[in-house]
Amino acid sequence: MTAYTYILRCADGTFYAGSTIDLDTRFETHCQGLGSAYTACRLPVELAWFAEFERIDEAFGLEKRIQGWSHAKRQAFIEGGFDAIRGWSARERALHAPGR
């Protein structure tokens, strides 16, 4: 079974992260205002990014990681992938802080 993690860009400029086993249907559900309470009041939405996985637990795991990211980190990730966000975690910033 194929699974997906996705990021939607909402009309107000915010991002919504989700996961699903049927990306096309899930996206259409969001577009109809039925996907989630968050996106329903921020229409229209557009698909900004997605990744494909072999298992839904992998897709869900990445969704949860993305949900913890700032708007700026999500934007950088959409534009440049994982390479663009290397060093963004608090742990990595602490390891490379001046004086360490």
pLDDT (tens digit, 9 = 90+) per residue, 1-30?
899 999 999 999 999 999 999 999 999 999
Check: pTM over 0.85? Answer yes or no: yes
Taking only the tens place, the pLDDT of each residue in 33-70 is: 998 999 999 999 999 999 999 999 999 999 999 999 99
Which residues neighbour 6 within 8 Å (Cβ) at sequence distance 6 or greater? 17, 18, 19, 20, 23, 26, 27, 47, 49, 50, 51
Nearest CA to 60 among 92, 30, 8, 18? 18
Rounded-to-integer distance, Cα 37 and Cα 61, Å: 21
Q: Which CATH number fits domain 3-95: 2.60.120, 3.30.70, 3.40.1440, 3.90.1570?
A: 3.40.1440
